[in-house]
A = this chain, B = another copy of it.
């Protein structure tokens, strides 16, 4: 008897800007190579080291808006002056094929994904303190002082959406956060409701 007939798990990892979503997702994908990353589309400029097609699909605002008109996004949103979106078709195909996908949307986007996929596993990544969140944003750089204050304010508001998530993970030491994320993935794969064949008549799973 084996697990089988399972749709892909959709792991939605979100949390405030600066909390370290990108680093955590990269480390998680390295630690569990059976997970695939669902690349988002954005109009923001690439940061140092970010690759087009791997970290994000970087497009112009004009192209993004064409794709909105063509209904190509599962969800999209303005975040800090840039557009971000999750492409619909590729994601649905991957899940139907049984692949486990990790998305890394902003907090608003995550909630809209959850409305479309009530079965999505929603994880909120929190900084150990607000002070640490500010320190991480400063270290990352690339934002003006005003932009950073806006991000901090947004993070405090976003914290109120925690109740719409399934899991909360404190991103203090990266290794600990990744171990917890791996545990969540392992546990979710064993959820009874995700393993449909096992719920069939016993004859189907007899020896």
Q: A97: CB under 8 A from chain B?
A: no
A65 to B1, CA, bound (A): 40
Quick check: B180 and A192 within 8 Å, CB to CB?
Answer: no
Contact A180 B170 (CB under 8 A): no
Q: Give the size range of A's interface with the partner.
A: 35 or more
Is there a chain B Cβ closer than 8 Å to A68's Cβ? Answer: no
CA A170 to CA B186, docked complex, whole Å? 13
With both chains docked as a complex, state the minimum distance between the C-beta of A63 and any C-beta of chain B, in angstroms. 37
Q: Which of A40-48, A49-57, A110-118, A124-132 contacts B (4 or more CB under 8 A)?
A: A124-132
Residues of B within 8 A of A166 (CB): 191-192
Given A182-B183, A183-B183, A3–B170 Cβ distance below 8 Å?
yes
Which chain B positions have C-beta within 8 A of A199? 162-163
Contact A192 B170 (CB under 8 A): no
| A190: contacting residue among B163, B184, B195, CB under 8 A | B184
CB contacts (< 8 Å) of A180 on chain B: these are 186-187, 190
A167 touches B191 (CB 8 A): yes
Inter-subunit contact A192/B207 (CB<8 Å): no
A interface residues, Cβ below 8 angstroms from B? 1-3, 124, 126-132, 156, 159-160, 162-163, 165-170, 179-180, 182-184, 186-188, 190-192, 195, 198-199, 202, 205-207
A182-B183, A183-B186 given. 8 additional CB < 8 A pairs? Answer: A131-B207, A159-B205, A163-B192, A163-B199, A168-B191, A179-B186, A187-B187, A187-B188
Between A and B, 18 residue pairs with Cβ closer than 8 Å are: A126-B198, A129-B206, A131-B207, A132-B207, A156-B202, A162-B199, A167-B187, A167-B192, A168-B191, A168-B192, A168-B195, A168-B198, A179-B186, A180-B186, A182-B183, A183-B183, A184-B187, A184-B190
